[in-house]
Structure 1
Amino acid sequence: MSRRVTWTLLVLTSLLLVLAVVPLAAMMTARERVAYRDSQRAATRVIAAAAEEHLSDHKPAAAMRQELRAAARAGDCAAVYDASARLVASTPCGAAQGEEALELVAGVLAGHEPEPPENEGRLLAAEPAGEVRRPAGAVVLARSAGPLDARVAAIWGWSAAIGAAGLAATVVLSVRLARWVSRPLSTLDASARRLGEGALDERADVAAGPPEVRRLAATFNTMAARTEALVHGHRAVIADVSHQLRTPLAALRLRLDVLAAGAETGTAAELAAAQEEIARLSRLVDGLLAVARAEQATPRPSAVRVDEVVAERVAAWTPVAGERGLRLTAGSGEPGLTVAAGAGHLEQILDNLIANAVDAVPEGGSVTVDHRAAGDRARLRVRDDGPGMSERAKAVAFRRFGNPEARGTGLGLAIVHRLATVNGGTARLEDTPGGGLTVVLDLPLWPAAGRSGGSRSSPVVKET
């Protein structure tokens, strides 16, 4: 933003300077040229007046020669011609006696007003001695164009200096203005990013920048404070619910175990059924708490090696799959593939997906986990050759208790979807070719190459 503001002000200032300084310099140059020409013509007329007295009135040439000497002292070259274009008198230099001077004399004697030329850095001017229509002679004065060129160069030099000073001042002011505006916005952006990464105590600076930016920072701080209060309140509720529900369930289960130890056959069967319901209720409570924690998660992304996590989770679940007569394998994958995910999230996702697949696939089936890069994403697939899902079940599978075909709590895929989404990824369900279900996860790649990270697994809730 700072560069855009600076360049915008520089471009606008440059246009204003060009539109203002260049025409002014051109106008001053034109006026200087006219003034120089008028001064030259005035000096020529002075000599012409003295020459007229000599040529028309036949007075002594002393006054004429005096004016010629004065012109020579001023650095001019002058020559006086009679009515027949014959040279009468001149200064020592011969710049006013060339072919161009004779052409000017012929034009003046013919009653014309020829355009004075510039020759080899000298400006020529011609004036009639006497009446314009019937002159008694003509005077040609050659003056160096050096002083005029110096003045013109000074005009353009000062104009360029003024323009450069204006641009330099604009650079300083625009940089300060851009920093004054953009620095608080950059700070606010960094604060918003840290808040989004889970730093709920992050606050923005409200003492810098324009009033609008300060108001925005104050609004952000209010929003952050309310978010922090809400999240902490929800976390407190979850902790309370976890304690208030798990404790009586554990106590009830212990009492049922004691009763079942000395119960008769019929009563023991009823107590066993009650124990199963207590266990199911415990799993349901754990699942709800896990979903609540996932929904409130604000992870700080870290670099997670996909191949290492996949290998670790496959190795951890292989004994369970072997007990059920299933084949669990890690399929093809790109080594070194790294994603940006919260600590433990990828492990929890894979645990839920593998647990669901192991519970759904009949004996003799297989479950495969593979991964590869897909553009700026890493794509993980958990494929099984089980019974699969109907289209209606797939449409609601990621909702809590949304899958009517689920044999367990129906919360595992909801946790998977939430954890994938909160890490900037997506999750979807596809049919496995030949039968079965494939869960496809797309997670963002870690932007910094060469950085590595890891995470530990979190508690898992199975959907059985």
Structure 2
Amino acid sequence: MTRRIVWTLGVLTSVLLVLAVVPLAVLMTARERVAYRDNQRAATRVIAAAAEEHLSDGKPATAMRQELDAAARAGDCAAVYDASARLVASTPCTAAQGEEAAELVGRVLSGNEPEPPENEGRLLAAEPAGEVRRPAGAVVLARSAAPLDTRIAAIWGWSAAIGAAGLAASVLLSVRLARWVSRPLSTLDASARRLGEGALDERADVGAGPPEVRRLAATFNTMAARTEALVHGHRAVIADVSHQLRTPLAALRLRLDVLATGAEGDTAAELAAAQEEIARLSRLVDGLLAVARAEEATPRPTVVRVDKVVAERVAAWSPVAEEREVRLTASDGPALAVALGAGHLEQILDNLIANAVEAVAAGGSVTLDHRAAGHSARVLVRDDGPGMTAEAKAVAFRRFGNPAARGTGLGLAVVHRLVTANGGTAQLEDTPGGGLTVVLDLPLWPERGHERGAASLKSGRNRTAGP
């Protein structure tokens, strides 16, 4: 934003300066040329007046000679011609003589207005001596154009300096303005990013920037405070529900266990069914709490090695799979690092492997695979079980979306919430030959932040392992 504001104001200032300074410099240059010409013609008329007294009245050439000497001392070249265009007197400099001077004299003696030319860096001017219609002669004065060029160069130099100073001042002010506007926005952006990463106590600075930005920061702080209150309230509700439900369920299960010890016949069967329902209710409560925690998760991304986590979860679930006579394997894949919340990938894979092992019949197989897919890491969990219908897949990620599920029907809901909370996607596909494949696309960890992420992951693990 800073660069854009500076460029915009710089271009606008440049255009305004060009539109203001250039025409002014052109006007001043034209006026300087006119003033220089007028001054030269005035000096020529003075010599012409003295020459007329000599040419028309026959007076001595003393006055004319004095004016020619004064012109020579001033650095001008002058020449006096009679009515026949013959040279009568001149300064030592001969720049007022020659073909161009003769042409000027001819036009003056014929009563025409001459067009003053430039000869070897000198400007020529011609005036009649006497009446314009019947002049007694003509005077030609050649004056160096160097002073005029110097003044014109000074005009354009000062104009350029003023323009450069104005542009520099504009750039300086635009930089200050851009920083005044963009710095609070950058701070607000950083605060929003940290809030999105899970720092619920993050607040923006409301004392800097334009009033609109300050109001935006205040609104952000209000939103952040309400979000923090909602999340903390949600967490408190989850903790209360977890305690208030699990405690009576555990007590009820213990009582049923005591009653079942001495029960026989139909009573024992009924108590066993009640115990199964209590166990199912406990699993259901645990599943609902897991979904609630996943929904309110605000993860702080850390670097997670997909290949290592996949290998760890396969090793952890292998005994369960062997007990059910299911072959659980992991395909070789590249070493990929993804940006996920600490422990989320483990929880995702645990739910998927549990569902797959539960769905596959004895002798079946479950395979985990991972690979790079553009800017994402793709993780696939394949099984050769009964699969899902198109209708079941469409609602599988909802709570209790699959009524035919053997478990609580909440595992895929937990997976979906955790994956999307970390900026990834999850979808269900049919396995070639029969079965279900869960496809996860997880955001790769940026290489430039790999070391920092690894350090944060290590510190997080240390904190988790602590007392």
Shared fold per TM-score greater than 0.5: yes
Amino acid paired to 1:283: R
1:296 equivalent in structure 2: 296
CA distance in 1: counterparts of 2:460 and 2:314, whole angstroms: 13
Deviation of residue 269 (structure 1)?
A: 2.5
CA distance in structure 2 between the aligned counterparts of 1:39 and 1:141, rounded to whole angstroms:
11
Partner of 2:370: 371
Counterpart of 1:80 in structure 2 is 80
Residue number in structure 2 paired with 1:413: 412
Residues 1:124 and 1:457: Cα distance change in structure 2 (over 3 Å): closer
Which aligned runs of 4 or more in structure 1 are off by greater than 3 angstroms? 452-458
Give the equivalent residue in structure 2 for 1:32: 32
- Normalised TM-score (structure 1): 0.96
- 2:23 maps to which residue? 23
Partner of residue 159, structure 2 = 159
- What is the rounded CA distance, in whole Å, between the counterparts of 1:110 and 1:197 in structure 2? 95
Hey, what does 2:115 align to over in structure 1? 115
Query: Which residue of the partner structure matches residue 199 of structure 1?
Result: 199
Match of 2:311? 311
CA change 1:358–1:456 in 2 (3 A) is farther
User: Which runs of 5 or more residues in structure 2 are unaligned?
Assistant: 462-467
In structure 2, how many angstroms separate the alpha carbons of the residues matched to 1:455 and 1:294?
23
Q: What secondary structure sits across from 2:450 in the alignment?
A: coil
Q: 1:404-462: CA deviations, max 9, x gaps?
A: 2211100000011111111111111111111111111111111234716758999xxxx
Contact 1:83 1:137 in 2 (8 A): yes
1:150-183 deviations in Å (ceiling 9; x for gaps): 1111111111111111111111111111111111
Task: Return the alpha-carbon distance in structure 1 between the equivalents of residues 408 and 98 of structure 2.
Answer: 114
Q: Which amino acid aligns with 2:257?
A: D
Instruction: Measure the CA separation in 2 of the matches of 1:421 and 1:119.
Output: 85
Q: Report whether the alignment pairs 1:380 with 2:355.
A: no
Q: Aligned partners of 1:50, 1:404: CA distance in 2, in Å?
A: 124
- Counterpart for residue 461 of structure 1: none
Q: 1:7: how far off?
A: 1.1
> Residues 26 and 456 from structure 1, CA distance in 2 versus in 1: closer, same or farther, beyond 3 angstroms?
closer
Q: Distance in 2 between matches of 1:189 and 1:457?
A: 25
- 1:298-319: CA deviations, max 9, x gaps? 0011111111111111111122
Report how far residue 399 of structure 1 moved. 0.3
Shift, 1:99, TM fit: 2.3
**Structure 2 length-normalised TM:** 0.95
In 2, the alpha carbon distance for the partners of 1:312 and 1:86 equals 117
* Residue identity (%): 86
- Secondary structure of 1:329's counterpart equals strand
CA separation of 1:456 and 1:182: change in aligned 2, threshold 3 A: closer
Task: List per-residue Cα deviations over 1:38-62 (Å, max 9, x = no partner).
Answer: 1001101111111111112211111
How is 1:282-293 mapped onto 2 (pairs within 5 angstroms)? 282-293=282-293
Task: Please show how residues 24-423 of structure 1 align to structure 2 within 5 Å.
Answer: 24-335=24-335, 337-423=336-422
Letter in 2 for 1:387: P
1:427 corresponds in structure 2 to 426
Equivalences, count:
457
Instruction: Note the C-alpha offset of 1:134.
Output: 2.4
Shifted more, 380-389 versus 122-131: the winner is 122-131
1:107 and 1:320 mapped to 2: Cα distance? 120
Q: Give RMSD over aligned pairs.
A: 1.7
Instruction: Deviation per CA, 1:238-267: give whole Å up to 9, x if none.
Output: 000000011111111122222222322443
Secondary structure of 2:447's aligned partner:
coil
8 A contact 1:347–1:457 mirrored in 2:
no
- Supply the distance in 2 between the matched residues of 1:355 and 1:100 (Cα, whole angstroms): 109
Q: Where in structure 2 are the equivalents of 1:441-460 lying within 5 Å?
A: 441-449=440-448, 451=450, 454=457
Residues in 1 aligned to 2:89 and 2:429: alpha-carbon distance in whole angstroms: 111
Matches within 5 A, 1:3-14: 3-14=3-14
Amino acid at match of 1:420: V
